[in-house]
Amino acid sequence: MKLRAAILVCALACPGFASAQTPARRATSPAALLTYPGFFQGQPVVVRGTLSTRDQAVLLAPSISRSIPLIFTGTSPADGEVELRATFWDVGRLQRDDPRINSLGLQRLLTNPEGDWPKPGDVVALIVSEAVPLKAPETPPSLREITLSPDLYVGQRVTISGQFRGRNLYGDVPQAPNVSQWDFVLHSGDSALWVTGERPRGKGFNLDVGARIDTKFWLQVTGTVRQGRGLVWIEAAPPLVLAKPEVEHFAVESIAPEVGPSPEVIFSDPENGEVDVALKKVVRLQFSRDMDPASFKDHVHWRYASGATGPLLPQSELSLHYEGVNRSLEIKIDNAELIRSRSVTIDLTDEVLATDGAKLKPTSLTFTFTGQ
């Protein structure tokens, strides 16, 4: 990982500005990294834990049963409590011939590189660019402090402030605790956590967890810190009150991403060239790498297979859904009359991207649908 620059900014969280100026790194915990490796794959993070270098440098934490291997690009501090600036990698989500295996030093984690490739989540690592001994925790704890060191605060009653982010409308955290339909995220700087137990409303406000327009508000919440399944949340107690936006100073890094090989379509159902495909068949494509779900929009086209330059069919009749767990894209043609007894070609352009920005090898697949 190459660090281009680090600049000090003053970020005022307000509509539009917050999402554009949020630091590249995500504050998180070791438990979250191990529970949601796909969410954090290739992402720069800030994480705390106990450094041990007895046999191999690893990060430990009270709430996890396994350690996270560390690969240092700089000097390692002495064993003890540390805060790391690092990038998280799940080796099983990379292809065997991915050049980043060697460039990042991940090959040293493989006991048998020529044998079976690890499954996603089996072999993970943090590539550490900076490590510093951990200072005494903040008193009272901030949202960021709880995000980074949840084990210290579980069961404690705290009061925090953060920007309302609805039902994870900006993808700040990997998953919801699913306590109620009103669960929402609070965000501050590089940190975010869930709030449960209370609807986001109070004197002078009634916020919608599904409306981005309401993310201009900041809330102060009092409640009890909970932790489970790699998530941290505040079990809130009334009342919730509006808070003033916080001005935060933090280092924002511009990071040159480690771009891997071009992703490919490695499996399709139905297969390319298949005939007698049912009209209501959902086409499923699987990719060799983790994909950026947003990049599919406007870059998956379909046309009658009458020629490579045939006119495109209406995008409004094409429904797309990407499932990150198995790297698959579901394509549904909503109007069966358009494909009855017809051969259809689906084109994916090179504007479809992997999560690190690598472009897809352009792909075309043709299927012939039945008349029934």
Lowest mean pLDDT among 170-174, 279-283, 311-315, 342-346: 311-315
Helix ranges restricted to H, the chain: 17-21, 30-35, 37-40, 100-103, 143-148
Q: What percent of the chain has pLDDT over 70?
A: 90
List the domains of the chain with CATH numbers.
Answer: 2-137 (2.40.50.140), 143-247 (2.40.50.200), 265-368 (2.60.40.1220)
Whole-angstrom Cα distance, residue 311 to residue 122?
Answer: 46
More confident residue, 112 or 283: 283
Number of Cβ within a 10 Å radius of residue 359: 15
Q: Using the predicted structure, report yes or no on whether residue 21 has a pLDDT greater than 70.
A: no
Structure tokens, 302: 């379909």
pLDDT tens-digit readout, 198-209: 999 999 999 999
Strand partners, 85: 46, 130
Would you say 367 and 284 are in contact if contact means Cβ atoms under 8 Å apart?
no
Instruction: Using alpha carbons, list the distances in angstroms from residue 127 to 100, 103, 280.
Output: 12, 11, 46
Q: Show the beta-strand stretches assigned E in 244-361.
A: 247-256, 265-269, 283-287, 300-304, 318-323, 328-333, 343-348
Write the pLDDT tens digit of every residue in 191-243: 999 999 999 999 999 999 999 999 999 999 999 999 999 999 999 999 999 99
Predicted confidence at residue 355, as pLDDT, reads 83
Q: Is the pLDDT of residue 306 over 80?
A: no
Provide mean pLDDT across the span 56-73.
Answer: 92
The pLDDT-based confidence of 359 (bands split at 50, 70, 90) is very high
Tokens found for residue 37: 């490796």
With bands split at pLDDT 50, 70 and 90, how would you rate the model's confidence at 62?
confident
pLDDT at 13 (0 to 100) = 37
Confidence at residue 35, expressed as pLDDT on a 0 to 100 scale: 95
| 288-313 burial code (b ≥16 CB/10 A, e <16) | bbbbbbebbeebbebbbbeeeeeeeb
pLDDT at residue 254 is higher than 70: no
Once rounded to an integer, what is the mean pLDDT over residues 64-88?
A: 91
**Statement: residue 115 has pLDDT above 60:** yes
**Contact call for residues 268 and 301 (beta carbons, < 8 A):** no
According to the model, what pLDDT value does residue 201 have?
95
**Percentage of the chain surpassing pLDDT 90?**
62
Both tokens assigned to 346: 């689906």
Average pLDDT over residues 294-305: 91
- The string of pLDDT tens digits covering residues 90-108 is 999 998 888 889 889 999 9
pLDDT value at 290 more than 60: yes
What local confidence, expressed as pLDDT, does residue 4 receive?
A: 34
* pLDDT beyond 80 at 15: no
Instruction: Map residue 222 onto helix, strand or coil.
Output: strand
pLDDT of 256 reads 56
The residues, ordered by sequence, that sit 6+ positions from 263 with a Cβ below 8 Å of its Cβ are: 287, 288, 289, 291, 352, 354, 358, 360, 361
The phi and psi torsions of 55 (rounded to 5 degrees) equal -110, -45
Q: What is the mean pLDDT of residues 118-126?
A: 94
Q: C-alpha 196: how far from its chain's center? A: 21
Burial class of residue 278 in the structure, from the number of CB atoms within 10 Å of its CB (0-12 exposed, 13-18 middle, 19+ buried)? exposed
Taking the C-alpha atoms of residue 68 and residue 271, their distance in angstroms, rounded to an integer, is: 40
Q: What is the mean pLDDT of the chain?
A: 87
Stronger pLDDT, 252 or 255, i.e. the higher one: 255
Model confidence at 257, in pLDDT bands (50, 70, 90)? low
Span 315-339, pLDDT tens digits: 888 999 999 878 999 999 998 888 8
Give the CA angle between residues 120, 126, 127 to the nearest 5°: 120
Nearest to 296 by CA among 336, 323, 267: 323
> Quick one: tokens of 207?
């916020």
Using the CB atoms, write b or e for 10-45: b if 16+ within 10 Å: ebebeeeebbebbbebbbbbbbbbbbbbbbbbbbbb
Instruction: Give 116's contacts (C-beta < 8 A, 6+ positions apart).
Output: none
Q: How high is the pLDDT of residue 255?
A: 56
Q: Residue 368 carries which side chain, given as an amino acid letter?
A: T
Kindly list the distances between the CA atom of residue 102 and the CA atoms of 38, 116, 258, 262, 354, in Å, as whole numbers in the listed order: 20, 17, 12, 17, 19
Statement: residue 43 has pLDDT above 80: yes
Greater pLDDT, 232 or 307:
232
User: Is the pLDDT at 149 greater than 50, yes or no?
Assistant: yes
In this predicted structure, what is the pLDDT of residue 143?
96
Q: 60: part of which helix (H) or strand (E)?
A: strand 58-60
